[in-house]
Structure 1
Amino acid sequence: MTITENSKITLHFALLLEDGQVVDSTFEREKPASFVFGDGNLLSSVEAQLLGLRTGDKETFKLAPEQAFGQRNPANIQSFPRSQFNADMELYEGLVISFADAARAELPGVVSSFDDERVEVDFNHPLAGRSLLFKVEILDVQAQGEMS
């Protein structure tokens, strides 16, 4: 069966940096990934690459930053007074800190630099601005609603 916009898909995938470093993969896991086309589990740009593939197909797609996590946005780097952080908090570059946005939802930020007066926090997605490789092996394709 061919992947269409009404498919339930079971697959193994790997998301890699251009140098081959694995960001996430199901290939070594006991259980592959399953999703319904359009359910939001995969980026729509990735789903579009899957259209027309069949059970048994293996492909690798290059995703430009705009197809993946977008370009880095300088406005997503914020500077805070050091006094807004607990005095005993050990800061270091790369530290992930959880903030709350205006709707009280969790918003992770990464400390990019700091000194005694200011802390610079980067709220860009860690993969923003990066081209990625998406490697996929299609294990099963069913029409949505079919039983396994």
Structure 2
Amino acid sequence: MEKLANKGDKVIIHYVGTVDNGAIFDSCDDETPMLVTLGNNEIFPALEAEIIGMKRNEIKNILIKAADAYGPRLTDNTMVVERKLFPPHETVEVGKKLAIKFADGEERVMLVIKVNDETVTLDGNHPLAGLDLTFALKLADILS
């Protein structure tokens, strides 16, 4: 009987990850396979649950809802700050990523989503937050 992937197994996967409009957000193939130990929280739990029970060389299309991936886009993760808080020589434009240090010492990378003469709007959501993700996945091997 052929072995099925189970928690604790090290598995090699290949996948192409796409969002709703078909755009590819990530992939790994024969040249760049991903090694995952099932049960170690190395990938989304919902994706891991779909891999458990697969057999070697099995291919599956797996839809992971936004809530089970990077979560919803949260307005709490956006902020508007005064433009004058940035050094005058610093180019602040839409699409630029900035490392922002908060009062508690935490530093987060945020994306500039809007700029005018008075304010800069920053977004700290993950770029894939709010999006359902589809993985065209092949379980290439089960190592243990």
State whether TM-score is above 0.5.
yes
Query: For residues 69 and 2 of structure 1, do their structure 2 counterparts lie closer, same or farther at Cα, with a shift above 3 Å needed?
Result: same
- Aligned-pair distance for 1:102? 5.9
1:18 counterpart residue number: 20
Query: For residues 101 and 139 of structure 1, do their structure 2 counterparts lie closer, same or farther at Cα, with a shift above 3 Å needed?
Result: farther
2:93 counterpart residue number: 92
Query: How far apart are the structure 1 equivalents of 2:51 and 2:129?
Result: 22
Query: For residues 66 and 33 of structure 1, do their structure 2 counterparts lie closer, same or farther at Cα, with a shift above 3 Å needed?
Result: same
What TM-score comes out, normalization by structure 2 length? Answer: 0.90
* Gapped regions of structure 1 (runs ≥ 5): 144-148
1:83 counterpart residue number: 84
Deviation larger for 98-107 or 64-73: 98-107
Query: For residues 123 and 132 of structure 1, do their structure 2 counterparts lie closer, same or farther at Cα, with a shift above 3 Å needed?
Result: same
* Gapped regions of structure 2 (runs ≥ 5): none
Q: Given residue 8 of structure 2, which amino acid in structure 1 is its aligned partner? A: N
- Aligned-pair distance for 1:82? 1.0
- 1:88-116 CA-partner distances (Å, limit 9, x unpaired): 11121111111235664541101111112
- Aligned-pair distance for 1:58? 0.5
Asked if residue 108 in structure 1 is aligned to residue 118 in structure 2, the reply is no
1:146 counterpart residue number: none
What TM-score comes out, normalization by structure 1 length? Answer: 0.88
Query: For residues 102 and 47 of structure 1, do their structure 2 counterparts lie closer, same or farther at Cα, with a shift above 3 Å needed?
Result: farther
Query: How far apart are the structure 1 equivalents of 2:125 and 2:101?
Result: 15
Asked if residue 127 in structure 1 is aligned to residue 116 in structure 2, the reply is no
2:11 counterpart residue number: 9
How do 1:53-68 and structure 2 match up within 5 A? 53-68=54-69
Sequence identity percentage:
24
SS in 2 for 1:109: strand
SS in 2 for 1:46: helix
Asked if residue 117 in structure 1 is aligned to residue 118 in structure 2, the reply is yes
- Aligned-pair distance for 1:63? 1.4
1:69 counterpart residue number: 70
Query: How far apart are the structure 2 equivalents of 1:103 and 1:32?
Result: 39
- Aligned-pair distance for 1:41? 2.2
SS in 1 for 2:143: strand
